[in-house]
Amino acid sequence: MATDPKPFKPAFWLKNPHLQTFWPYLFRFRPKPNYQRERVVLPDNDFIDLDWLKQPSSVKPKAIVLLIHGLQGCSQSHYIRGFACRLYQADYHVVAVNLRGRSGEMNRQPIFYHAGYSPDLDFLIRKINTDFPCLNLNAIAVSLGGSMLLNWLADTNDATQLINSAAVISVPYLLASCAKRMETGISRIYQFHLVSSLKKATREKLTQMELPNILPSWPQSKTFFEFDDAVTSRLHGFDNVSDYYQKASIKHRLTNISNPLLLIQAKDDPFMSDNVIPNPNHLNSNTLLEVYEHGGHVGFVSANGLKPYYWLDQRLINFFERTD
């Protein structure tokens, strides 16, 4: 039975956005899900690895929940592992996606993934529906993965027949604004870490194949703008970074989504500024927008007294119990 959702209230010692962001990464106990891996071959002969937590035969699963990680994440990311274990405890089948190149083995094609890339999600979602025709499929997506899922929901005519409901957290709804924000203050630390990871993946892929159209300046990239202009946009068929950011930003197309939808965002997210957050007056009635003063980027750490707990876990379960 679903309980009434409680609004997020940060632990009193975690009102700083960077503490909210770092705390789960550094201090959350990371349960290790006993995943079962399924390799899915894509239409272009590339592959994506899915990691499953399936209920035993003695338990009737409530539904399936698809988990989609953020930029340079994977099924082992702390937030994915946390979601997976809590959902499994709540009697859901769970399937965590490892996007191209993120399962521990480099993918076969030159492309990776990006904020507006949805063909792989489309293929996976249709496959899961075919394999489990008697179970609803829900989805949780984080950060850039949330942008990918929202683009798919907005662009897919039969999305309501394939996804029962979806929840996204800390999404970069306007990519150019987010990239600009990441060039300021402490946010530059996150940018350095993520751009360095992207460059490492690019170097690894170049040892295996040519990457058409990327700019020779890519090794000097220090910002998201520079890397996305030199690599991401060119590799995935965009003219340049401006073309990519304009076409992949989802903020102004949210009204195209008809599925029950939960959007969770923090005003103090160090990855973005306030202008990124959708206007609740410009959303469909099926969309629930929750915006909190605190929470950081995929943080949302609350507390019972001095004991921290991860508010997102129960909030997401509550949402699905109300929509299934």
Is 128:64 a contact under the CB 8 Å cutoff? yes
Characterize the bridge pairing of strands 301-304 and 307-310: antiparallel
In terms of Cβ atoms closer than 10 Å to its own Cβ (0-12, 13-18, 19+), residue 29 is exposed
**Distance between CA atoms of residues 130 and 49, nearest Å:** 17
Residue whose C-alpha is closest to residue 48's, from 140, 152, 115, 125:
125
Tokens 């990855």 -> residue: 271
Our CA dihedral for 210, 214, 218, 221, rounded to 10 degrees, sits at: -140
Tokens 């990691």 -> residue: 51
Tokens 């004991």 -> residue: 307
Dihedral sign of CA atoms 190, 191, 197, 201 in order: positive
- Listed as own residue / partner, the contacts of 35-44 with beta carbons closer than 8 Å and 24 or more positions apart are 35/75, 35/84, 35/96, 37/103, 40/123, 40/124, 40/127, 42/120, 42/123, 43/123, 44/109
Catalytic residues: 143, 269, 297
Q: At what angle do helices 144-155 and 119-131 cross, to 10 degrees?
A: 70
Cα Rg for the chain, rounded, in angstroms?
A: 19
